[in-house]
Structures are given as C-alpha cells and as structure tokens.
Structure 1
Amino acid sequence: MTTIKLHENTSATPEQFIAALTDFGPGRAELFGNSADKYLQVHDRGKTQADVTEGSSGVWERLHYDWSNPRHVVLTTTDSNAWGRNSGHTYDLSVNPDGTTTVDYTAVREGKNLRGRLLEVVVASIGKSVLVKAFHNSVKVIEARAKAHKAAE
C-alpha cells in the first residue's frame, strides 16, 4: 500500500473547495485531470455524500464521497478495476488567520490485481511528481474559479 501526502495553500475557502470537489458535471477533467467525462457516472448524490465512478486512461474507481464534516472530506474506494478497498483520498481543510485555506491531501493506493500493483509501484516512485503537479493544478483551477465567481457577484 502506498500513501502520498500533499499540502497546498489557496485563497479559495473550504466551502469553495468542496463545491468544486463535489461538482460532478461535464468538464470535471478541467479540475481533476484523472476524471475524464467518459468515465464519470453519478450513481447517487445527497446533501453531504455521493456515490460516483470516475477515472481515466483505462483505470476507474467507484468512490463514496463524504463531506458531512466540512473540514475533512473522505473519498472511499468501493470498487475499481485496479485499486483495492483500502484505497481512497482525504482532504483536510483548515482556515488560516490571513483568510487562506490550507489543503492537506492524502492519497492511499492499494493495488488489487497485477495492474493495480504495478500502478501502485509507479505511483510510489515516479508517479508522485505527477500527483504533485495534478494536485497543484487542481488547487489553482479551483482558486481561479472562486475568484471568477466572486468577481461576477
């Protein structure tokens, strides 16, 4: 099992970050590169939870999203063609005295088959830099979206 922890600061509020994270509409890949529209399927969505399948490049996972705690969002893998049930993502959001938000992101990857175990090795080695870049880009796009929304008000 591979665990990767990343950290970013953003001018987006926790509410704006969660709104983007739980926007399962078309164009999601602009926010999250590993969520191609052709894989995206919302099975169920409630006020603070969702059951969503997403993925890209032949790898998909079904995730249970739980944002009932607005400072600790948990995405639990419930099914995948590569990742085991110990896989998932967490986002811990904290507001700083200057009004910015700190986002601590943890990705856990457990390969459930040969393909998943090979991907796990890639993620643990050279793949970490790809995740760092993707996470940074997601945070910047969310931040820009929040600024544009504020300007439109």
Structure 2
Amino acid sequence: MTVVRIHLISTLSPKEVLGVLTDFGPSRPQAWPTIDAEHFTVHELGDTFAEVTEGTAAAWERARYQWDPEGNEVTITTLDSKLFGAGGGWVFTMTPEGRGTRVDVRLTREPAGLKGKMLASLLPVVAPSALRKSLAGPLKAEK
C-alpha cells in the first residue's frame, strides 16, 4: 500500500470545500481537470454518499464518496480502477484556518498488477506536486 499526504490552504470555507468535493452535477468535468465527460457517471447519489465513476481514458476509478453534511471530512473508497486495486482511496479533512480552510489530503493506493505496482512506487515522488496542481483550481488554493 502506498500513502501520499499533502495539504492545501483554500480561500473557501470548510462548508464550501465540502460542497465542491461533493457536487456531482453535470458541470463536475469542467470543474475538475482530472475528469472528462466521457468518464463521468453518477451511479447512485444520496444526501451523505455518492457512487461515481470518474477520471479519463488513461486513469479512471469507480469510487464511493461518504460525508456528513455538517462534518469536516470526505472519505472516498476506490471500488474499481484502471490502474489500482480496490480498497485504496482518498480522505479530505477540512479545518478552518484564517479566512479559509486547511485541506489535508491522504491518498492511499493498493497496487494491482505490474503497471499499478510501478506507478505506486513513483507516487511518493511525483504525486504531491501533481495533486496540489490538480486540486488548486477547484478548491481555490495556492499551488
């Protein structure tokens, strides 16, 4: 298992960050640079959860999002993925900081197959800067 941890400082409030992370409307592919419309499907959506497939042709994943609408955490569990096995995922934790929010991100990957194992070994080196860049726009944070 590979774990990568980063944090960002967002100009959004914790509730606004939660809203961005859990907005599964049709504009999601335009808001997130790592999602294209062809690889975005909402399978099930409730008040505190969503099951979606999202990503690109090169790297998609089907995941279950869970959150408390009044809480400060979004947990995303990978169910299936083109590159990695089930069971990994993401945890986003939001903490008020100054006029915005500190967003702590923990990415966990379970390598599946040779390609997944090779990519997982590179994640600690390449993922922090790539994640900051891809999350900065939607979460209104510094890169």
> Does TM, normalized by the shorter one, top 0.5?
yes
Match of 2:134 in 1: 134
Structure having the higher Rg: 1
- Residues 41-95 of structure 1, C-alpha deviation per residue, up to 9 Å, x if partnerless? 1000000100011111422111100012621110001112221223100110112
**Contact conserved, 2:8 with 2:132, CA < 8 A, in 1?**
no
**2: CA distance, partners of 1:99 / 1:131:** 23
**Normalising by the residue count of structure 2, what TM-score does the alignment of the two structures yield?**
0.86
Amino acid at match of 1:95: P
What's the secondary structure of 1:125's corresponding residue? helix
Identity %: 32
Counterpart residue number, 2:87 = 86
- TM-score (normalised: structure 1): 0.81
Does 1:50 pair with 2:50?
yes
Structure of greater relative contact order (alpha carbons < 8 Å, 6+ residues apart): 2
Map of 2:40 onto structure 1: 40
- Counting matched residue pairs gives 141
Runs of 4+ with >4 A deviation: none
Task: Give the root-mean-square deviation of aligned CA atoms.
Answer: 2.1
CA contact 2:5–2:128 (8 Å) conserved in 1: no
- Unmatched 5+ residue regions in structure 2? none
Q: Which runs of 5+ in 1 are unaligned?
A: 144-153
